[in-house]
Amino acid sequence: MGTAAGPAADSALVRAARGLPVDRTPVWFMRQAGRSLPEYRALRAGTAMLQACQDPDLVTEITLQPVRRHGVDAAILFSDIVLPLVVAGMDIEIKPGVGPVVASPVRSVADVDALPPLEPDRLEFLATSVRRLVAELGSTPLIGFAGAPFTLATYLIEGGPSKEHARTKAFMYAEPEAWRRLLERLAVSAATFLQVQVDAGASAVQLFDSWAGVLSATDYASRVLPHSRAVFDALGDRDVPKVHFGVGTGELLPLIGDAGADVVGVDWRVPLDEAARRVGPGYSLQGNLDPAVLLADRETVDREVRRVVEQGRAARGHVFNLGHGVLPDTDPGVLTHVVELVHELSAR
């Protein structure tokens, strides 16, 4: 069931993720779809974000846009981390310029117990989108993804985007039993979401725990990591590479791999040679160009790309990426240039 088969199974992305030799370093960009592309804005006009994510025609086209334009080595499904919650029936909207906003935030044990479960049969649109994409992409792998339980919990508890995540941490400390139940439920829905994508043909998966870096290693290890591990474990014998990513996770790097990942995503704060030491030998790395560098002059871009490619050689395998998502003001031409430069610098 769902083992990495098909023409993308031997792609540079899958090989680098497994630590196998590659002809050149694979490169893709977090948030490569839907951030900086004018063709995305044109296509999305008049359709709400979370509606677009459930329309296989739009999902297929938006996912393919950056592959066609930049020649990246992987596609990432156009979706959002809150989509499983929306499909389950929660009232969540993505407000332009803000992000996900939750109508009734989770603030009590009763709120946790009232969360609707995600019925897998509501995910037919997702399987359809993935199957179509895999057929179109040929030997280019499709990365499926889900939000990790902690990062989803921050949106549910805060009610929207937040910097300090203070309410989230307060809930975690004050209501440990409700916290555990909340993260368990979120792990089940993330796992269902990933299983559907892999069974429909996705070649790799990424679990986004974007905000895990706000936690101490001790709290992360005891109150969060077991739930992220449960998501990866639920993939069972589906033999696809697993990427685990968060921002500001320098202190957590040894634990992030421990959740069951093949690849640890690293933001720009820790150089990849140092990250390789922190995660240990059993993992490939993904990252870690500062997305802000792409707003600088060409000389700076080239110097920083070269540095990341060189430092990436310290890892078992390297998937070139940004340290976080593409910034909306990024010139798409710079992204195309970075893809070409990484390929040129890493060609063997």
- C-beta separation of 264 from 283 below 8 A: yes
- Kindly state whether residue 31 participates in binding ligand 1CP, applying the rule CB under 6 A: yes
Kindly list the catalytic residues: 31, 35, 44, 80, 155
Of 138, 10, 69, the closest CA to residue 326 belongs to: 69
Q: How far apart are CA 16 and CA 332, in angstroms?
A: 25
- Return the number of the residue (79 or 129) whose C-beta is nearest ligand 1CP: 79
Chain residue at closest Cβ approach to ligand 1CP = 99
| 32 marked as binding residue | yes
Q: How far is the CB of 153 from ligand 1CP (least distance, A)?
A: 12
Residues numbered 199 to 218 that lie near ligand 1CP (CB under 6 A) are 208, 210
- Return the number of the residue (78 or 150) whose C-beta is nearest ligand 1CP: 78
- Return the number of the residue (62 or 316) whose C-beta is nearest ligand 1CP: 62
Summary count for the chain: helices (H), strands (E)? 16, 9
- Return the number of the residue (99 or 120) whose C-beta is nearest ligand 1CP: 99
Region binding ligand 1CP by CB under 6 A among candidate stretches 33-41, 165-173, 282-290, 310-318: 33-41
| 234 marked as binding residue | no
Tokens for 348? 């063997």
Q: How far apart are CA 201 and CA 93, in angstroms?
A: 28
Q: How far is the CB of 20 from ligand 1CP (least distance, A)?
A: 25
Q: How far apart are CA 231 and CA 223, in angstroms?
A: 14
- Kindly state whether residue 46 participates in binding ligand 1CP, applying the rule CB under 6 A: no
Q: How far is the CB of 151 from ligand 1CP (least distance, A)?
A: 6
- Return the number of the residue (161 or 314) whose C-beta is nearest ligand 1CP: 161
- C-beta separation of 138 from 80 below 8 A: no
Region binding ligand 1CP by CB under 6 A among candidate stretches 78-86, 170-178, 197-205, 219-227: 78-86
Roughly how many angstroms between the first and final C-alpha of the chain, as a whole number?
Answer: 34
- DSSP reduced 3-state for 198: helix
- Return the number of the residue (97 or 281) whose C-beta is nearest ligand 1CP: 97
- C-beta separation of 194 from 233 below 8 A: no
- Kindly state whether residue 76 participates in binding ligand 1CP, applying the rule CB under 6 A: yes
- Kindly state whether residue 34 participates in binding ligand 1CP, applying the rule CB under 6 A: yes
For CA atoms 134, 78, 186, 260, the dihedral sign is positive
- Kindly state whether residue 80 participates in binding ligand 1CP, applying the rule CB under 6 A: yes
Q: Which of 21, 46, 96, 281 binds ligand 1CP (CB under 6 A)?
A: 96
Of 227, 211, 222, 127, the closest CA to residue 167 belongs to: 211
Of 240, 172, 178, 206, the closest CA to residue 324 belongs to: 206
- Kindly state whether residue 161 participates in binding ligand 1CP, applying the rule CB under 6 A: yes
- Kindly state whether residue 122 participates in binding ligand 1CP, applying the rule CB under 6 A: no
Q: How far apart are CA 43 and CA 36, in angstroms?
A: 13
Count of other CB atoms within 10 angstroms of residue 41: 11
- Kindly state whether residue 265 participates in binding ligand 1CP, applying the rule CB under 6 A: no
- Kindly state whether residue 49 participates in binding ligand 1CP, applying the rule CB under 6 A: yes
For CA atoms 72, 245, 311, 306, the dihedral sign is positive
Tokens for 164? 């300090």
- Kindly state whether residue 94 participates in binding ligand 1CP, applying the rule CB under 6 A: yes
Quickly tell me which residue has 């946790």 as its tokens. 112
**Interface with ligand 1CP (CB under 6 A):** 31-35, 49, 76, 78-81, 94, 96, 99-100, 145, 151, 161, 208, 210, 325
Residue positions forming the annotated binding site for substrate: 31-35, 80, 155, 210, 324
